[in-house]
Structure 1
């Protein structure tokens, strides 16, 4: 162990952490290995041997220095996540400025380092740890909690330490695509992260299905073997398999801009600014700003890949002091640039971009963001344009949502169906209508009728698979569901049954009759009216069988009429009905003409 430390035989390896919303590498976690072909190569044995020899703290110092030097030597982008134990945080050599000196020597700003608090030992001095973390935060470091849900990491530590990053233990990530319990655990963590203004990192992603599930949930970052294994020279750009998974065609289930003809993305905010090459000088950067008063930021690129951003006011302020231009004018522009700018892929949605800016440090609001395509620089965007676009989207969304249920109305329903048809995805269109609703509404009043409609809207949301199925409100007591879930027919029957139960509860025991009620008809005669029930008409939409939302809507309407007709047939038990239309578009059109 002594020889490993004295001869510098430690091997730092790095595993990329992907920003799933920006579709780019966010940074790397530094991991350590002992000498190859030795009993100390694996980290567990290495740290156990150090502890037995009384060299645990010295090993952590050596790991930290080796990782920092290797990271800087490779010229890796983004942030470096450094594992530290609670006892290491209180190490005098970490707090006395030695690490800051090393960072200055390597040219690494402190804001690119994330101290990842590992949980291989119990935290016994939480107030001391909290004080130490405040010390590091004051110097620009960020904090992460590792393995949430495993070991001693717990909600109290999250609440007390308020880390910028929280890593979800791989137990909850592996198999999440197939495990409803794990899914809801992570969803709860995500809700907490939004409240605490922290970014979640899903660790241990080994399967494509889990990667896609985590991405669709809106988790900020991902890490695991599916992306890349820890290696001495890690990838600088996303591997092709990861890009393919990110590019997998998705159909938005609840588009925020309901009236948009196409999804709004970061590309719509792109402004083309000629970037500076990383070899340019500070004098060249100032000359660009002086030549264009409207230019507020300058992106810096290495070839075609963005590496930094220079802020106009920050640079000019630095050079306003005496002799600064003479001292630093001929130096590289990298000296005063932000080495960790916000970089987003052109396909990132407006909602994802807004969330990234909301969770990012405040200076990103002024600097804006760099837009890339397949990792290549395309242009920049700013927060003012983003706010204008969001306002436009919110106004448009308000115009297209149903005011009673706030569900998407006719226009977004039609556009969603057209997107499904264009993508060539098989789905089921279900038209839902309440039977016996008008006499109920006339007798009990429109307020009670609205209660039934709102209840049905909530009930549909409970029955469908929210990640796959689109729910819309056509108007009045008519609803429309675009199912992608394979068990859609069972869900339709569940909806019919649950609606009958909810109606009984809504009417209440004090109202006359549990199966119906007496009320006047249009001729003033007292007649018995059955309680409202549901009719569901469903149509299987195969790829290429329908050309537009009009054909789908017409087929679903026919199926709904058949469901209502069968519900009225003598001998049919009450409680609603589901009818599945099995004819294609051509057959239905011919039938209507006849």
Structure 2
């Protein structure tokens, strides 16, 4: 085992690295989820490749122990700026800065600007990214330093939101233009409902504060799709591109199409509630606002828009009440309306599901139900939605779901399944249909009774919901012991295998010990003859619906049924995947 070098030897090595410019800059692209284009690059640092200080963790930890953190931080800025210009990279440079270095008493304003001037890089292209490796004690000094940067044209980003010592306080006090969500909350996002709720909450706060969110740590297509669906505008991670001294200039991201979320009704997102209303600017006068409300008596609220982004909401009753006071028109009529607006209206992405939207409205202030909410796309204003339209749409969804739901599992039945398949086919979406069926269920029902049979079916329904992604997959109950999942998840095969394993574990509790020992039981078959039956197992038949492969839901159902029969031909829990190509059929048993 190699021993770490002594602190004294590291001191000399670190001094040489700083004085002789031996730091190497790497760049990792930050991509837009709107079009997949590169928005900018984060500058990262490595020490000499053969050194203990090559790792940034060792490099900065050693500098902190030796009291050289300030000098190293500045040397890193110098190396990153020079390399960024040398590589002729487009977009913004996200420049990491340690907050404590800015909050020191001997902080020298203008040093970073001098580096940019020497390199020929405009400060308007640079985002100061605060990397919190240690607590920030003097917020006033830090705030003063950042205001100094802003005055020169820099933007501010807060790194690792959710991980640091005081990241939420920094967000509140510094009001950064960007926040980066820590990779812990992004990795595995597609399979973790709690993480998704956290990320949605951050996005909701960001929309109301005018902050742009960057999701760090994207390592799979599934997580990228969920992040895009939540409405986060920018992404970064190994799945997007690895850090490199010569990074790519273009990316080839597989971004999801708009409005692809499965639904029983096509109008299941906030975007379908959108209505156009007049908008106003923050500088418009109170008198102008009164005229607009008089002209449109049916409008309860006016969105205040600044450069296509919503910044507030003016409520009719508040404006009328305010100007109904004596001398209000004379005193305030010519003043900007921004003093009258609500600066924290409810703002939602157009792709937000009606269920999520209803939860946001009911959990927030009751005024959102009466006055409505603002609908955006990637931060840009689209229109307004009303509480009345939301409640009506939710009621229609509930009535429709109840009418066609299976009474035992409450999952969507045949009609919604067929409609969902037709929607996917019509919109030419790639999907995977999995037909799930219990094996030897009738003998189990005969031996144990219908109550136990119902319990097994409910257990299976709950399992299907747990392995499917509620954001993009559709789970239906065909009837009896037959189910269907329409997967849009790219890792559908792993989810099916997990389903088989989990079913095998859980189903044990539904059998008597003696039947488990015998691996079955005796019951009369369909001809009335006594026969030994194995324990109930699960068969999954899968088909992949590529573009133009199937024309109707009948064809999909027939192909999935055929795959299920082939899966049932194998004893025990089984997964059969049918892969159809143009002229021939390839079959595999998993």
Q: TM-score, normalised by structure 2?
A: 0.60
Q: Is the 8 A contact 1:369 1:380 kept in 2?
A: yes
**d(CA) in 1 for partners of 2:559 and 2:390?**
40
Instruction: Tell me the CA shift for residue 154 of structure 1.
Output: 9.9
Instruction: Tell me the CA shift for residue 419 of structure 1.
Output: 2.9
Q: Is the 8 A contact 2:270 2:352 kept in 1?
A: yes
5+ long unaligned stretches in structure 2: 1-29, 35-72, 82-94, 110-123, 125-129, 148-155, 171-177, 207-211, 238-249, 586-590
CA RMSD of aligned residues (A): 5.5
Q: 2:424 aligns with which of 407, 420, 423?
A: 420
- For residues 216-256 of structure 1, the C-alpha deviation after alignment (integer angstroms, 9 at most, x for no partner) is 48767566679xxxxxxxxxxxxxx99x9876346435x4x
Are the structure 2 counterparts of residues 18 and 387 from structure 1 closer, same or farther at C-alpha, using a change threshold of 3 Å?
Answer: farther
Are the structure 2 counterparts of residues 487 and 308 from structure 1 closer, same or farther at C-alpha, using a change threshold of 3 Å?
Answer: closer
Instruction: Tell me the CA shift for residue 552 of structure 1.
Output: 0.6
Are the structure 2 counterparts of residues 273 and 48 from structure 1 closer, same or farther at C-alpha, using a change threshold of 3 Å?
Answer: closer
**d(CA) in 1 for partners of 2:347 and 2:167?**
32
Q: 1:51 aligns with which of 75, 85, 104?
A: 104
Q: Is the 8 A contact 1:551 1:585 kept in 2?
A: no
Is 1:170 aligned to 2:179, yes or no? no
Name the residue aligned to 1:482.
486
- For residues 476-520 of structure 1, the C-alpha deviation after alignment (integer angstroms, 9 at most, x for no partner) is 011123345566556656655654554444212145862222234
Name the residue aligned to 1:148.
162
Is 1:326 aligned to 2:330, yes or no? yes
Is 1:315 aligned to 2:319, yes or no? yes
Name the residue aligned to 1:557.
561
User: Secondary structure at the residue paired with 2:276?
Assistant: coil
Are the structure 2 counterparts of residues 169 and 153 from structure 1 closer, same or farther at C-alpha, using a change threshold of 3 Å?
Answer: farther
Instruction: Tell me the CA shift for residue 421 of structure 1.
Output: 2.1
Are the structure 2 counterparts of residues 586 and 472 from structure 1 closer, same or farther at C-alpha, using a change threshold of 3 Å?
Answer: farther
Instruction: Tell me the CA shift for residue 412 of structure 1.
Output: 2.6
Instruction: Tell me the CA shift for residue 533 of structure 1.
Output: 2.9
Is 1:248 aligned to 2:301, yes or no? no
- For residues 405-460 of structure 1, the C-alpha deviation after alignment (integer angstroms, 9 at most, x for no partner) is 23332223222322332343444323222232222212221011112212322344
**d(CA) in 2 for partners of 1:486 and 1:245?**
12
**d(CA) in 1 for partners of 2:285 and 2:166?**
46
Are the structure 2 counterparts of residues 167 and 514 from structure 1 closer, same or farther at C-alpha, using a change threshold of 3 Å?
Answer: farther
User: Secondary structure at the residue paired with 2:510?
Assistant: helix
Is 1:213 aligned to 2:224, yes or no? yes
Q: Is the 8 A contact 1:428 1:482 kept in 2?
A: yes
Q: Is the 8 A contact 2:231 2:378 kept in 1?
A: no
Name the residue aligned to 1:271.
275
Name the residue aligned to 1:546.
550
Q: Is the 8 A contact 1:251 1:419 kept in 2?
A: no
**d(CA) in 1 for partners of 2:399 and 2:162?**
39
- For residues 5-43 of structure 1, the C-alpha deviation after alignment (integer angstroms, 9 at most, x for no partner) is xxxxxxxxxxxx99999xxxxxxxxxxx99xx999x977
Corresponding pairs, count: 457
Q: Is the 8 A contact 1:435 1:535 kept in 2?
A: yes
Name the residue aligned to 2:541.
537
Are the structure 2 counterparts of residues 88 and 529 from structure 1 closer, same or farther at C-alpha, using a change threshold of 3 Å?
Answer: same
**d(CA) in 2 for partners of 1:513 and 1:88?**
69
Name the residue aligned to 1:140.
none
**d(CA) in 2 for partners of 1:341 and 1:221?**
19
Name the residue aligned to 1:408.
412
**d(CA) in 2 for partners of 1:485 and 1:189?**
17
5+ long unaligned stretches in structure 1: 1-16, 22-32, 60-73, 75-80, 100-114, 120-145, 159-165, 227-240, 568-573, 589-594
Name the residue aligned to 2:357.
353
User: Secondary structure at the residue paired with 1:438?
Assistant: helix
**d(CA) in 1 for partners of 2:181 and 2:279?**
40
User: Secondary structure at the residue paired with 2:268?
Assistant: coil
Q: Is the 8 A contact 2:522 2:530 kept in 1?
A: yes
Is 1:381 aligned to 2:385, yes or no? yes
Are the structure 2 counterparts of residues 561 and 147 from structure 1 closer, same or farther at C-alpha, using a change threshold of 3 Å?
Answer: closer
Are the structure 2 counterparts of residues 265 and 536 from structure 1 closer, same or farther at C-alpha, using a change threshold of 3 Å?
Answer: closer
Are the structure 2 counterparts of residues 422 and 148 from structure 1 closer, same or farther at C-alpha, using a change threshold of 3 Å?
Answer: same
**d(CA) in 2 for partners of 1:522 and 1:208?**
52
